[in-house]
Amino acid sequence: MLDQVLFWAGSILLVAGGVFDLLASIGLLRFPNFYVRLHAATIGAIYGAFMPLIGVSLLALSIEDFPAKYMFAGGAFVTGLIILIVAPIGSHVLAYAAHRSKSVKWQPVVDHLEEDSK
């Protein structure tokens, strides 16, 4: 019974990750500027990679005759956690560098970074 629950939960997470990847790729094509596109890419990196990896680890745990299932599930889970931590940091650094270099045209209503540098 538990194997079936793990199998279906893993399958749902795999499909949800694919949907988030699809939505992120549509957002990359449709959004108007660099910062909003960066947000879509980050959503795709986080949910489109983290959720399928957790789904794969649940699927590995649901297989009965797989001797290395705990090692496989643990590796997928740790990889998902690393992506969950590193992806937002990378997108923040990219956005900060683009803002500081003034290479991206953007008309902000309030620019707190510009106010802090004065």
The answer to whether 57 and 10 have CB atoms below 8 angstroms apart is yes
Rg (CA), the chain: 19
Question: What's the domain count of the chain?
Answer: 1
| 57 CB-side CA count, 13 A | 16
- Quote the CA–CA distance of 25 and 94 in Å, as a whole number: 18
The predicted-structure confidence for 32-56, as pLDDT tens digits, reads as follows 888 889 999 999 889 999 999 999 9
The answer to whether 55 and 79 have CB atoms below 8 angstroms apart is no
For residue 8, give the CATH number of its domain. Answer: 1.10.287
Residue range(s) defining the domain that contains residue 31? 2-117
The predicted-structure confidence for 10-25, as pLDDT tens digits, reads as follows 999 999 999 999 999 9
